Amino acid sequence: MKKVIVGMGTCGLSAGAQQTYDRLNELLQARPGTFELTSTGCIGMCYQEPLVEIREGGRRIIYRKVTADLVDGVIKKHILDDTPTPEHIALTINAAGELQGPESDFHRLQQRIVLRHCGTLDPESIDEYVTAGGYQAVRRALLEMRPEEIIAVIKESGLRGRGGAGFPTGLKWSFAAQNKGDRKYVVCNADEGDPGAFMDRSVLEGDPHAVLEGMIICAKAIGADFGYIYCRAEYPLAIKRLNIAIQAARDKGYLGRNILDSGFDFDIKIKQGAGAFVCGEETALFASIEGQRGMPRIRPPFPAEKGLWQKPTNNNNVETYANVPWIILNGAEAYAAFGTEKSKGTKVFALAGKVAHGGLAEVPMGTTINDLVFKIGGGIKEGKKFKAVQMGGPSGGCIPAELGETPVDFESIPATGAIMGSGGMVVLDETTCMVEMARFFLEFTQNESCGKCTFCRIGTLRMLEILTRITRGEGEENDIEKLAELGEKIKENSLCGLGQTAPNPVLSTIRYYRKEYEAHIFDNSCPAGSCSALVDFHIDAQKCTGCTLCAKNCPVDAISGEAKKVHVIDNSLCVKCGKCVTSCNFDAVYKR
């Protein structure tokens, strides 16, 4: 019997996957027993959603952009008549794992460890997870390994924390294991808050049991008996599937008392965060779990000694824990075979921005930026010129296209002035103003500052005021020097990672795009044509047909002209809203 699987992660649902699933279900009800219908999480090709996969005899055929109206034609034809429709197929995977189809390049360079089950298993079925080898790593860790053996394997694998700092995971676990306490905690940081980042959300939606399994193994290694997953409330689907997974794991004996008759007790609770970016910092996260305002604490003491409720605590992010079961089952050497000498394994990236193929990709450490953008991401939308990538979210920096051959690892990326971060990669093209990009991210971090540190609270505000002036054409001669000085002082004197990294987008854009800052300040112009205060809108007389659409859509009546005659924009009235550009069907309106 054919198995039909609908991708129902957040990306799929936003593209109409629920309607596609409902129509397939109607088809199944009309013809009972014709096929098996189920759902899965995100496979990574977010740009092709809704995705529908048909499996039969070891072959997988994935159809792209399957809206509900295509079900009655394309999918029904394949299911009932065994007649695939090639023009709608994104990818074909045969029994040997060979890839064919237009989206083969998106997958060819990938090595899926964290994402191994995302887009292939039903995330709400523990039975599917167990059939695929799930919880075998827990069985081995609890029944066959001592805590110190577990830690040794994680150390030897070279796994480093995937939340951004890249601290060696096994070493971190050993610190918590060495500290004594009447109770210890395992915490999973799922407070993913970077603009353009959705790696952790997709893992939680597509393979929640892998995260639970990693946490259970960590708990055995450090001697903890309780864990928390701190997940932002803006991820309702992830929370729903986590709750289903936790209850199913309890019912099957993988959580709770005397797990697998091993004498080991461990349980997990979800704590929903209210979306404070600062709670991505572990001590602020602990404060939030405890019911306090999310603000960072002075360290030392470090969490391994006094963390949650002043008890020894280990905190890792979603992706870090999801690696652990694979390492326990396949061995440290197998994991260390991927990546570079100092950055082992793989890394999941969320490709967003001006890239043609936005989505999720998991690649070996050391893969270059250009490979991610062009070979996996399909290059830049609309054939525009690649300008930069913004890595590490608001805490990261901008890496210019000239450094596109930089390997993505924990040593090479910081050398550029950016950071690896949790894996967000926002691709920028020639139409992006780097000054405005820096202002956007600084506005975010300034709003998210908890206010505890003067340098972070006031310094980021002063930087934001300067950047806002520059983008409005009101820059002053020494503004660049002021920004650089403020940025360095904020980095040196802030208590937590938010303040210490907040100036990075500004400092990195000054480093690589100083001429854009100078053009804004001294020439009163935006080279990218992006800052509306520094550009005027005009109509090309050769292209204008006098269709009157621009005039009809102008909210301030700044456009005049008769029907079928060239129109004119009065820039003294224009509010730079851009309605004329978007409404013109002849590309006659341009900025200068």
Do 450 and 559 lie in one domain? The reply is: no
pLDDT at 532 over 90: no
* Rounded Cα distance, 63 and 84, in Å: 9
373 CB contacts (<8 Å, ≥6 apart)? 351, 355, 379, 380, 386, 389, 404, 427
Q: Supply the CATH number for residue 459's domain.
A: 1.20.1440.230
Tokens 């690589």 found at: 512
Average pLDDT over residues 412-419: 91
pLDDT at 533 over 90: no
Hey, how many other C-beta atoms are within 10 angstroms of the C-beta on 82? Answer: 9
Q: Supply the CATH number for residue 583's domain.
A: 3.30.70.20
Listed residues 267, 300, 335: the one ending a domain? 335
Q: Supply the CATH number for residue 35's domain.
A: 3.40.30.10
Position 530 in a domain: no
Do 205 and 282 lie in one domain? The reply is: yes
Do 403 and 503 lie in one domain? The reply is: no
pLDDT at 592 over 90: no
| Residue-level pLDDT at 164 | 78
Do 152 and 283 lie in one domain? The reply is: yes
| Residue-level pLDDT at 369 | 97
pLDDT digits (tens, 9 = 90+) for 537-572: 999 999 999 999 999 999 999 999 999 999 999 988
Helical ranges in 230-342 per DSSP H: 236-251, 282-289, 318-330, 332-336
pLDDT at 497 over 90: no
Do 387 and 457 lie in one domain? The reply is: no
Do 151 and 272 lie in one domain? The reply is: yes
Percentage of the chain exceeding pLDDT 90: 88
Q: Measured at the alpha carbon of residue 314, what is the angle toward residues 135 and 131, in degrees to the nearest 5?
A: 10
| Residue-level pLDDT at 394 | 85
pLDDT at 395 over 90: no
Position 370 in a domain: yes
- Whether the CB-CB separation of 321 and 188 falls below 8 Å is answered with yes
216 CB contacts (<8 Å, ≥6 apart)? 138, 141, 142, 254, 255, 259, 266
Percentage of the chain exceeding pLDDT 70: 100
Position 565 in a domain: yes
Do 554 and 517 lie in one domain? The reply is: no
3-state secondary structure (DSSP) of residue 271: strand
Listed residues 375, 404, 429: the one ending a domain? 429
Position 518 in a domain: yes
Say how many domains are in the chain: 5
- Whether the CB-CB separation of 365 and 346 falls below 8 Å is answered with yes
pLDDT at 133 over 90: yes
Tokens 């309607």 found at: 19
pLDDT at 591 over 90: no
pLDDT at 9 over 90: yes
Do 157 and 73 lie in one domain? The reply is: no
Listed residues 471, 490, 522: the one ending a domain? 522
Do 476 and 328 lie in one domain? The reply is: no
Question: Confidence band (pLDDT; 50, 70, 90) for 396?
Answer: confident
CA distances (Å), origin 316, targets 186, 461, 552, 562: 8, 31, 55, 64
Q: Measured at the alpha carbon of residue 441, what is the angle toward residues 432 and 345, in degrees to the nearest 5?
A: 90
Q: Residue 231 pairs with which residues in a beta bridge?
A: 190, 272
- Whether the CB-CB separation of 511 and 552 falls below 8 Å is answered with no
Average pLDDT over residues 24-38: 95
97 CB contacts (<8 Å, ≥6 apart)? none
Position 61 in a domain: yes
CA distances (Å), origin 513, targets 384, 472, 478: 19, 18, 16
Q: What average pLDDT is seen over the chain?
A: 95
Sheet architecture: strand order including 346-353: 359-364, 346-353, 424-429, 386-391, 397-400
Question: What is the tally of helices (H) and strands (E) in the chain?
Answer: 25, 19
Burial (Cβ within 10 Å: 0-12, 13-18, ≥19) of residue 503: buried
Q: Measured at the alpha carbon of residue 294, what is the angle toward residues 293 and 297, in degrees to the nearest 5?
A: 110
Do 468 and 494 lie in one domain? The reply is: yes
Do 203 and 80 lie in one domain? The reply is: no
| Residue-level pLDDT at 584 | 95
Position 116 in a domain: no
DSSP per residue, 454-514? HIIIIIHHHHHHHHHHHHTT---TTHHHHHHHHHHHHHHH-SSHHHHHTTHHHHHHHHHHH
pLDDT at 576 over 90: no
List of E strands, 94-145: 99-100
* Rounded Cα distance, 229 and 537, in Å: 50
Position 138 in a domain: yes
| Largest interatomic CA distance in the chain | 85
CA dihedral 372, 377, 380, 386 (to 10 degrees): -10
pLDDT digits (tens, 9 = 90+) for 430-483: 999 999 999 999 999 999 899 999 999 999 999 999 999 999 999 999 999 999
Strands 424-429 and 397-400, how do they pair? unpaired
pLDDT digits (tens, 9 = 90+) for 239-270: 999 999 999 999 999 999 999 999 999 999 99
Position 258 in a domain: yes
Average pLDDT over residues 392-415: 92
Question: Confidence band (pLDDT; 50, 70, 90) for 202?
Answer: very high
Range of the domain at 405: 346-429
| Residue-level pLDDT at 196 | 82
| Residue-level pLDDT at 41 | 97
pLDDT at 195 over 90: no
| Residue-level pLDDT at 529 | 87
136-150, 190-204, 309-323, 338-352: range with lowest mean pLDDT: 190-204
| Residue-level pLDDT at 403 | 96
CA dihedral 245, 195, 422, 113 (to 10 degrees): 50
Q: Supply the CATH number for residue 371's domain.
A: 3.10.20.600
* Rounded Cα distance, 168 and 11, in Å: 32
Do 181 and 280 lie in one domain? The reply is: yes
Q: How many residues does the chain have?
A: 592
